[in-house]
Every structure is written in C-alpha cells, then in structure tokens.
A and B are shown apart, each in its own frame.
Chain A
C-alpha cells in the first residue's frame, strides 16, 4: 500500500489545491482593508473574473489570455468600488453587496448569451492550465513518503498554486517592510496623520484597491480554469466571504491570514472526504449538512471563539480632509 491510499494523503493534497482560491482573495482583501476600505465585494470580483477568464480561455484556447481578461474585469470592479468608497465617500458595505448581487446576475446573463448552457461555459479542455511536474518526479516516485511528498504534495500543481503560496511572504514584506506598506497601514489606522505627513490618502487607497483587484482576479481564474475547467453559475459559493473571514481570523496579518485560509481549505478537503462515508457512531452524514461546515466554521471564527481580532482603526470610514 502506498501513502497515497491513505485518506490523510488526499486530504493534504486537496488542502493545497483548495487554498489558493482563498489565499488570493484574502490577500486582496488585506490590501484593501489595511488601507481602510472594506472589501465585501471579493465574492463578486471572484465570480466576474472566473466567468471572464473561463470565457476568454475557451474562445482563445489560451488560459493566459483568460487570466489577463479576468484581471481586467476584476480591476475594473475594484476601481468602481474605490470610486464609490474614496471619491464618493459612499457606504462601502453597500457598494460591495451591490457588486456581488449584480455580478451574480450579469455573469449568468452573459454566459447564457454566449454559450446557451444554462449559465455555464463549455468545458475548457485544452485551455485549462496544466500542472507543473517537478523534474525527477518519475524517478523518485517509488520512494515511500518522500516520493509522494515531492511529486504530489509539493509538485504536481498549477503555476497559480505556487504563485499563491509565494504571495504570502511577498505581501508580508510589502505591508511591513516597504515604504508603500507603511503608508498603506498609516492610511488604514490614522488617515489624518498620514495626510498631515504629506501622504495622499486617496491615492494610497486607490492603489490598494488596484492591487486588490489584480490579486482577486487570480482567485477567479484559479477557480474557473484550474480547479473546475469551466464556469458555473454562482460557482464562487461564498469563497469571497470565507477569504474575508480568514483575514479577520488572521487579524489582518498576512501569515495568520494564510493560516486561516489553510484552515478553511482543510475543512473543505475533509468535507469532500467524509461525504458518503459511514462514520463510526454517527453513521453517514447527509451531503446537505456537510455543505454547511465551512459556513458554520466562519460563524464560529467570527464569534471570536478562536481569535480576538483588531481591525484597522479607520476601516470603513471615508476620508474627509480636514481644513
């Protein structure tokens, strides 16, 4: 028996595969919220970029064009959000919810218009992003544990998976060790002090939303052209909110947020594993109840049973320059 046969092995592999969707979105939310803008519209941006990247990848037969197009759409939505939150000084929560609801409808309508498959895109087939096979995987395959670790847990994923994991230290560095990050945090904590120090709060927040738009698009692209291989109506299924919760759980810090994402990814992996399995004592848990698990975990996390979090002080308040 190889290690692969054990359930724990496939749980770990699928944790690694579930996590990028949440990591990209959570890092996007981190930039937005550290600058003082609430980003509840992650869900809508994921959905929009998922659809556009799937549709473009299908039409051009090139997944990278899909990724680029998804990015364009996600950035456009982020800029709309930024315009409402920063220039209009409107309600950021309402703007986010508006984007989520509008995209849930629009992606279906456009998908139906182009493909007539009930809001689904055709299977991407060749236009999916394929997995990276690390050099020497075949040679080492036979070695117990290490072969599996190298070829399946570390290797054998799409480029976007590696990008997601590499993003975490990068975001940490940008937020805590770069001049840009210092300014970003000052805008989220005390915009008036930042303003007095000569930083343009508006510009800084627009830049943060731009980065959020770019990062969030990878979530959508990952969901559509790596994980699924097609777009399906409302396929994000709350991932944007889970990412947001992972961020709250992680206290708006990149590494802890990453841990939060891994936790949710692990729960999703276990959820898939125990579906249809006869468990001792409890017996078989119906699929509809298992589906609730990530949402229940979110509520428990938010209830502060797992972490006590401190949000950026100026989160959600529009900046009005004092005279």
Chain B
C-alpha cells in the first residue's frame, strides 16, 4: 500500500507496535478460550520474566541467542532472501563448536577457547547455508524450500552424528561429553551478583557487538549499500554492476555463520555439551524477530528481548497453568510473523486517514 506517504514515526514505530499488539490480542483471545485469564497470565509472565532480577537475567540469556538468529534472518532479508534455515544452521553450528571444544578444551586456556569455539560454530553454520545459497544463486532453486529441507536434513543428520560418534562410551543420554571448565563462557553474575545463579554470560555482550557491527555494515558501508540494492531491485543492482549470484552466496554464508554463532550461548554458555535438538526453535524465533524488528539493529534487540521474556515467562506460566503449555509461544510466534510480516501494512490506510484529517 502507500506507506511511503506516511511519516517515518508512523512506519518505524506506530505500525510495528500496533501489529505486535494485534498479534498479542489474538493470543489473549486464545488463552481466554482455553479457560485461563489473559490478564492474570500476563501478570505471571511479566513477574517471572522482567520484574525479578533472576528472571530478567534468564530473559536476557535467551535473548542473546535470539539476537544471533534474528541477525541471521535479517541480513539475508536485506538482500531479499528469506532464510528459513537458521534452525538447521544453528544446529550445525553447534556441531562445529563441539568438535573444536572436544579437540582443544583440555589443552588451551579459556581466552583462546572462546574464539576457537565461535570460529567453529560460524564455520559450520556457514557450511550449512552454503548449498541453499549456491543453489539459489546458480540454479534458481527457491531458497525458502531448500532451507526448510536443510532443516529436516540437519535434524536427521545430527541425530545420526550425535548418537553414532559423540555419545561417550557407556552413556545412554544422546549428548556429547561435557566440556572442560575452561570452555565455559564467563558468567555475568561474577560481576553483578544480583543476577543470581543463571547462565547469563558474556555472549550477551558479544551479541550486542554483533548488532553494532551489523548496523554499521548494513547502513554505512559500501558493501551494505550493495546488499540493500540487491534486496530492493535485483535487476537494477545487476545493471549497476553488482554481481548478484556472488552477493547471494556471500550473504547466505554470513547468515549461516550468524545462526551458527547462536549456538555459542546455548552450549558454551549453558549446557557445556552438545545435545539432541538443543536449538529448540531458536532459528524460527529468528524469523519472527527479523520481521518484528524490521531488520533494524535496535528493532532486533527489542524483539529478541521480548521473545526472551516470552520464553522465560512462558516456562513459568506453563508450570502454573497446565492449559498454557510452552508450545503456546510457538503459536504466538506464528501470529507475530503474520501480523508484523505478512500484514505489516494492515493499519497504514487507517493511519493515513487519521493524519490527513488532522493536517
């Protein structure tokens, strides 16, 4: 629709907020139909995820992972590519990290292990996004379907790899051995004891740094300009001398690497071993975050924190209200993608009319 005519505050702030509220309203209706009070549920959620410091640090812990998957989906979206595969890329990234840790965790100090782990995660994540990117660039295979297929393939392949090669002898649990203590991300509660005994770690700071780098590169660099030009109009970009297929492959590699980095927080920051299905939907959350945050660094940050709160609060909520299992938040995620992504201009005509009447 004609949202170009709307002022910036309307498209960048009012509309996303209205869209988000619409999604949450539908969610509230469903919670009401399940026989629970939406207001009371919201109260439990806010109390558990934001108001107490321990809950808040869990919220930010989850947000650290989501920032990476949100960035992964966002940067691909800047080039007009809809990467649904962050889930599989993060899963595979976790394998890269684990391989690096199993090789070095007993011989190297922590300040070397962290960058090596990150490198392994980024490398394997990029590896998993290379083929979909290549097939899109060279063969025109639709990236949405190939990345979804790669999610399924990753799930089966990782199952095979973990069970066959990584489970220590004599163990039943489908997980790798635990890493040495040196391979743990430093926790933030050693400087801020108020945060309590939570896995909230320096991944959060790395995620913030990644957001800043993303913002600068996309908005301020020549490469970022080419990236956005490709996303806005491939033909025009090609005519201006940008190599589209190279751009597609490069941005998918970066996207996969970012998704892979999401595993650093989950594994090195919390469990300290690779387990089956550890990603647990974080890649799909990234899609919602990218759409809700409109691929803007600040938007991604706020959306990631919101989703962190939904996961943390939702977990406590599911304990108190058995009718609202954590899967409710998968549904809410779908609603947010629907309202903030597919119907993003739903309120544009109404706002345009409102502004016209005033002016």
* Pairing of A with B: yes
By size class, the interface of chain B is 35 or more
Residues in B neighbouring A288, C-beta threshold 8 A: 156-157, 159-160, 163
The interface-forming segment of B195-203, B230-238, B245-253, B340-348 is: B340-348
**What 0/1 pattern do residues 324 to 359 of B give for CB contact below 8 A with A?**
110111111111011001111110000000000000
CB within 8 Å for A109 and B325 given contacts A90-B344, A94-B337, A296-B153: yes
Asked if B135 CB lies within 8 Å of chain A CBs, one says yes
For B284, the chain A residues whose CB sits under 8 A away are 101
Is there an interface contact between B341 and A94, defined as CB atoms closer than 8 Å?
Answer: yes
* Chain A stretch 90-120: residues in CB contact (< 8 A) with chain B: 90-95, 97-106, 108-109, 112-113, 119
B342: which A residues are within 8 A, CB to CB?
Answer: 84, 88, 90-92, 94-95, 98
B344 CB to closest chain A CB (Å) equals 7
Q: Are A299 and B148 in contact (CB under 8 A)?
A: no
A contact patch SS: helix
Minimum CB–CB distance for B256 against chain A, Å: 16
Which bracket fits the contact residues of A? 35 or more
Q: Which A residues are in CB contact (< 8 Å) with B150?
A: 295, 299
Residues of B within 8 A of A88 (CB): 342-343, 345-346
Stretch of B5-13, B62-70, B108-116, B139-147 on the interface side = B139-147
Q: Annotate B274-292 by CB proximity to A: 1 below 8 A, 0 otherwise.
A: 0000000000100110010
- Closest Cβ–Cβ distance, residue A94 to chain B (whole Å): 4
Tell me if A156 counts as interface (CB < 8 A to partner B).
no
Asked if B141 contacts A302 (CB within 8 A), the reply is yes
In whole angstroms, what is the CA distance A124 to B28 when docked?
Answer: 31
Is B164 close to A, CB under 8 A? yes
Q: Would A304 and B140 count as touching, CB distance under 8 A? A: yes
| In the bound complex, CA of A237 to CA of B148 (Å) | 11
- Tell me if B223 is interfacial: C-beta within 8 Å of chain A: no
For B348, the closest partner residue in chain A by CB is A88
**A225 interface residue, CB < 8 Å from B?**
no
> In the complex, what's the smallest C-beta–C-beta distance from B250 to chain A, in angstroms?
20
Chain B residues engaging chain A, CB cutoff 8 angstroms: 1, 30, 34, 82, 84, 131, 135, 139-142, 144-146, 148-150, 152-153, 156-157, 159-160, 163-164, 284, 287-288, 291, 323-325, 327-335, 337-338, 341-346
